[in-house]
Amino acid sequence: MRIGVSKEIKTHEYRVGLTPASVRELVEHGHEVLVETDAGDAIGLVDAMYESAGARIAADAAIECINCGICYAACDTVRWNADYLGPAALNRAWTLVNDARDAGNAQRLAAVAAGGGCYDCHSHQSCQEHCPQTLNPTASIAGLKRRTMAAYLRGEIEA
């Protein structure tokens, strides 16, 4: 069975669906566990702990994009906003932002926070509905919004 653990979005809610110990048990019983990036961060359960318990961090799934462009064609915002990068490119940016080997994150976050970037997404989710890989570009873009906001508050990128 494939089991997903999402990050809580309610204000001041820091609980997470599974601890790394529970993940280990599930993996040992043959289940696949996907954990959303930073799902347990607020209570010290960092992504590395989930990975060492055998989970995949959800952003990894975005790597399975086959560049078909269907999400781009399905995106309502692309139709009226010529500057918008669109779901496929932003989904790819999210995979790079989560790649520990990547050294260009400050520039990448600044680029996707600029006009035509992640803040132009209106979360319609048409991209997600049509992806043949059952990926979720809307979630990747939401991740970019969180990361760019955190980078801005830390003074790593400019408004």
Closest approach, Cβ 82 to ligand SF4, in A, equals: 14
Q: Which of 11, 12, 44, 67 is the binder for ligand SF4 (CB under 6 A)? A: 67
Q: Distance (Å, rounded) from C-alpha 156 to C-alpha 110?
A: 9
Q: Which of residues 109-128 bind ligand SF4 (CB under 6 A)?
A: 121-127
Candidate segments 3-11, 15-23, 25-33, 70-78, binder of ligand SF4 by CB under 6 A: 70-78
Contact 18, 48 (CB under 8 A): no
- Shortest distance in whole angstroms from residue 36 CB to ligand SF4: 16
Q: Is 138 a residue that touches ligand SF4 (CB under 6 A)? A: yes
b/e sequence 55-85, b meaning 16+ C-beta within 10 Å: bbbbbbbbeebeeeebbbebbebbeebeebb
Give the C-alpha separation, 68 to 88, whole Å: 9
Give the residue, chosen from 18, 34, 97, 131, that forms a contact with ligand SF4 under the rule CB under 6 A: 131
- Separation between Cα atoms, residue 32 and residue 108, nearest integer Å: 31
Contacts to ligand SF4 by CB under 6 A: 65-71, 75-77, 87-88, 91, 121-127, 131, 133, 135, 137-138, 141
